[in-house]
Amino acid sequence: MQSLPFEPISKALLFLHLAAAFVALGSCVHLLARFTYALRGAYFPQVKLHARILAISYTVVFVLGGLIYPTFRIRVRHDYLDAALPWATGLFEIKELGASIALIPAIGVWLLVRLIDFRASEHRPYIFACMIFAGAVLTVLVYNAWAGWYLGTLRSI
């Protein structure tokens, strides 16, 4: 059987994918908490830090997922899920679509936060917009964490 790209290191990449996902989840939760305080008039300099961590960690999760995908596609999805559990393939497709869509607001929050003056009242709508974007990213991260865990219990790479 011929080896697929990155297949020999796919388990290590999967572990790094998991670790980066935890970092993205944590930074997104902290970012939302900081935005809540910012709407009340308090400012934490960590907002910019958490936004940058979210953008970087989400991008790392996305890239690592792309590197793992060929191995998953052949060894798990084609060989097992499509034949035995086609509904699980649907869960995975939703996971991947959500991950692709949420990449834009994950990076966009970081870009927007760099321009916001948190002490200026006229910038409050931008803080609220960042909260909506970060909330959408958090929703995708939570679903993807659950779906990745569940699909991994069915069969992993």
Along the 157 residues of the chain, how does pLDDT read in single tens digits?
678 888 889 999 999 999 999 999 999 999 999 999 988 888 778 899 999 999 999 999 999 999 999 999 989 998 899 999 999 999 999 999 999 999 999 999 999 999 998 888 899 999 999 999 999 999 999 999 999 999 999 998 8
Structural domain contains residue 100: yes
pLDDT of residue 1: 63
Structural domain contains residue 111: yes
Structural domain contains residue 137: yes
Cα 5 to Cα 2, 19, 61, 71, distances in angstroms: 10, 21, 18, 7
Structural domain contains residue 127: yes
Structural domain contains residue 93: yes
pLDDT of residue 7: 86
For residues 90 and 113, give the distance between their C-alpha atoms in angstroms, rounded to a whole number.
35
Structural domain contains residue 32: yes
The total number of structural domains in the chain stands at 1
Whether this prediction's pTM lies above 0.85 is answered by yes
Structural domain contains residue 2: no
Structural domain contains residue 59: yes
pLDDT of residue 88: 94
DSSP-assigned letters across all residues of 62-100? HHHHHHHHHHIIIIIIIIIIHHH-HHHHHHHHHHHHHHH
Please give the residue range of the domain that contains residue 21: 7-154
